[in-house]
Every structure is written in structure tokens, then in C-alpha cells.
Homo-oligomer: A and B are copies of this chain.
Amino acid sequence: MTHAQQILETHPRGAAIDAGALLACIDACFDCAQSCTACADADLGEDDVGTMIRCIRLCLDCSDVCTATGQILSRQTEFEADLARSVVQACVQACRVCREECERHADHHEHCRICADVCRLCEQACDRVLALLAA
């Protein structure tokens, strides 16, 4: 059991939406924030950095959005569904454009292939949360 799950289970107000989907999304957001920061940095260390500019930029953006999304979804008290939806939608968008760019480099930079996978997992976890927020 992750620490996120343990704390959520002892939260005085409980999970604002389905706990499984919420925890998966929180975890995916923090994982994607880290991966995108690390991928942008790995890009910076490559000999062909001149061809990685767009990848670096989108990884930085994705990391910023994922961090904010992970923080906001970690809060259950006075949960505001409309705000959560807007933020998670931005996160899906950030993960999508970052993933698409990372995929272009996946065959020559293994870190881009992995980062694209992490972005895809985060998109999927966000989509599940969006489905719950729309209900």
C-alpha cells in the first residue's frame, strides 16, 4: 500500500471521488512530473540537443502541469469538481503533446521512449478521473 493510499484512507472526509482512480491519477501525476524533468535533462545531455528543443520545452511544461495536478488531487477537503476537471483536462493536454513529441525520438533516445510511456499512463489515469468528474 502506498503512503498516498494510507493517508487517503485516514482522511477525515474520505476520498472526494473513487479512491482507486484518484490514487492512480495522483501517483501518475507525480511519476510523470519526475519523468518529464528527467527526460528534459537527459535531452540536454545528448549530443543532438539541437534537435531536442521542442521535446525539452514540452517536458518542462508537462512537469509543471503534472505537479500542480498531483497537488490539487491530493486535497479532499472542500473538493471542487469544476476546478479539478479544468486542471485534469490541462494535464491530459500537456501529457498528450509531450508524449507525441517524445515518441518521435523514441527510436534513438530510450529515455524519450520511457517518458512517452509515462505520459501515456498519466493521460489514461487523468481520463479515468475526468469520466468520474463528468458523472
The DSSP consensus for interface residues of chain A is helix
Contacting A42 at CB < 8 Å: which of B12, B42, B111? B12
How many residues on chain A are close to B (CB under 8 Å)? 63
Select one of B11, B38, B78 contacting A54, CB under 8 A. Answer: B78
Interchain CB contact under 8 A, A41 and B11: yes
Q: Mark A52-70, 1 if CB is under 8 A from B, else 0.
A: 0110111011011101101
| Cβ–Cβ < 8 Å partners of A133 in chain B | none
**20 additional contacts, CB 8 Å, given A3-B34, A60-B71, A87-B90?**
A3-B31, A3-B35, A7-B111, A10-B42, A10-B111, A10-B114, A11-B41, A12-B47, A13-B45, A37-B74, A37-B75, A44-B56, A45-B53, A45-B76, A49-B50, A53-B78, A64-B71, A80-B97, A82-B93, A83-B93
